[in-house]
């Protein structure tokens, strides 16, 4: 994955967004000229409206609905992921919505935890040089603006539990089953 250089914050300009279907429900995707900036789960009308308001406030750009242009490749790659044909995303990411420790943790997650594997909160904290920061890693997962592409569903508890997930535990179970970490649900 390509990463934006630190310190390159500027107004987003035009922000393209679209809602796309998936096996885990509708996803809202948004992209700036720097790359994919947001993925939102369960993007029904209410969720979509709140997400778009937050994006407008955070990015200051014009929001334009469009499934082509900047979002064509992320949409193609997500479809291939859900079909089982893609194990690693290769799209430009815009890290504008996350900073500091959270950005450091999410970059490590994106680059260092491959498809079909999991990592504990504490282990991820150690990887970024902050071994006592497991709870802060959990907070970083909760603030991840790019779930799926930056795979916070692959972060699990040290007790063997699957941990929390902003998209809901059933969504996390389905994603881990898709990647072969958990058995497929019976129904």
- Which CA distances in Å does 36 have to 29, 147, 159? 7, 11, 33
First-to-final CA distance of the chain: 34
From the list 24, 39, 152, 156, the catalytic residue is 152
Q: Give how far the C-alpha of residue 4 lies from the chain's centroid of Cα atoms, to the nearest Å.
A: 16
**152 among known catalytic residues:** yes
Strand positions, DSSP E, 22-126 = 27-32, 35-40, 62-65, 119-120
Q: pLDDT tens digits for the chain (187 residues)?
A: 554 444 444 555 899 999 999 999 999 999 999 999 999 999 999 999 999 999 999 998 899 999 889 999 999 999 999 999 999 999 999 999 999 999 999 999 999 999 999 999 999 999 999 999 999 999 999 999 999 999 999 999 888 788 888 889 999 999 999 999 988 766 5
What angle separates helix 100-112 from helix 134-142, to the nearest 10 degrees?
90
What's the predicted TM-score (pTM) here? 0.89
Q: What is the three-class DSSP state of 31?
A: strand
């Amino acid at each position: 994955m390509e990463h934006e250089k630190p310190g390159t914050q500027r107004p987003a300009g035009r922000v393209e967004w679209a809602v796309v279907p998936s096996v885990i429900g509708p996803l809202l995707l948004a992209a700036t000229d720097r790359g994919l900036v947001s993925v939102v789960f369960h993007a029904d009308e209410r969720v979509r409206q709140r997400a778009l308001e937050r994006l407008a406030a955070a990015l200051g750009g014009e929001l334009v609905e469009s499934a082509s242009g900047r979002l064509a490749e992320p949409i193609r790659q997500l479809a291939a992921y859900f079909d089982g044909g893609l194990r690693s995303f290769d799209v430009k990411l815009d890290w504008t919505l996350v900073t500091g420790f959270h950005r450091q943790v999410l970059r490590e997650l994106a680059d260092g935890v491959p498809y079909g594997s999991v990592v504990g909160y504490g282990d991820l904290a150690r990887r970024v040089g902050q071994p006592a920061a497991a709870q802060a890693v959990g907070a970083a997962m909760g603030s991840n603006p790019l779930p799926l592409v930056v795979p916070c569903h692959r972060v699990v508890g040290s007790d063997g539990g699957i941990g929390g997930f902003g998209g809901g535990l059933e969504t996390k179970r389905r994603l881990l089953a898709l990647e072969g970490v958990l058995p497929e649900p019976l129904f």
